[in-house]
Copies of this chain bind each other. A is one copy, B any other.
Amino acid sequence: MRKNGSKAVVLLSGGMDSCVAAAIAAERYQLAMVHVGYGQRTEGRERRAFDDVCDFYGVNLRLATRLDHFRQIGGSALLDRSIPVPETGPGPEIPVTYVPFRNAHFLAVAVSWAEVIGATAVVIGAVAEDSSGYPDCRPEYYRAFAEVVRQGTRPGSGIEIHTPVIGMSKEEIVRKGMELGAPLAKTWSCYQYEDEACGVCDSCVLRLRAFARAGLVDPIPYRAGVAL
């Protein structure tokens, strides 16, 4: 699978999109995987998914870290249990699950580590389809960040930002993951629960819809009554 010896630092949340981004990166790069916990509700479950996906790809270069300041800063239903996670389906506005400027923190961790280990790529599973809700999921954002990386790392570090699934629909992400044998059964997307996915938060709704459109059944466990 590995076409050359270059390393890529992959931001692996534990969810489906970053798992498929990792599967794509695995075709070309030696993988180094980062997980960033930030006090989100399902942090423990996502961390387990991270370890499972790393094991699947035989990744030894793992950095699992935790950012405590998001909890101090607040402002999101993913962090603040007094703000309920919506169960009415995604709308056109920025949802209460938005964590302000979140992906910049994740990219900063990945780029610093890439510079130290000599990786030439940082891979993030952002999806533009999500960008009505999250401004830091758009291609323009990643083009701007790539310029920050060019300006702010050692001359010659040559670190590129890759967003291999940014233009895909969720259905295409599922199909691509299946095609590449990505371990989607080991991933976790639910915003609310860690044992069985709720099936009704925005993240579950988008995931279930993607599997249904791809004509597949999502292999992870859902609460009783959720239509798969």
Contacts and interface: CB of A to CB of B under 8 A. Distances in A.
Interface string A56-77: 0000000101111110111100
A74 B116 contact: yes
Contact of A75 (B66, B107, B116, B135): B116
B112 A100 contact: yes
Copies of this protein in the complex:
2
Contact of A136 (B73, B147, B152): B152
Contacts of A150: 144
- Interface size on A, as a range, is 35 or more
Contacts of A115: 75, 100-101
B104 A104 contact: yes
A201 to B, nearest CB: 21
A44 to B, nearest CB: 18
Contact of A103 (B63, B105, B152): B152
A155 interface: yes
Contact of A100 (B67, B98, B140, B153): B153
Contact of A154 (B94, B141, B152): B94
Given A104-B104, A135-B152, A144-B150, 20 more contacts: A63-B73, A66-B68, A66-B69, A69-B109, A69-B112, A75-B116, A94-B154, A98-B154, A100-B112, A101-B111, A101-B149, A101-B153, A103-B152, A108-B108, A135-B153, A135-B154, A141-B148, A141-B152, A144-B151, A148-B148
Interface of A: 63, 65-70, 72-75, 94, 98-105, 107-109, 111-113, 115-116, 135-136, 138, 140-141, 144-145, 147-155
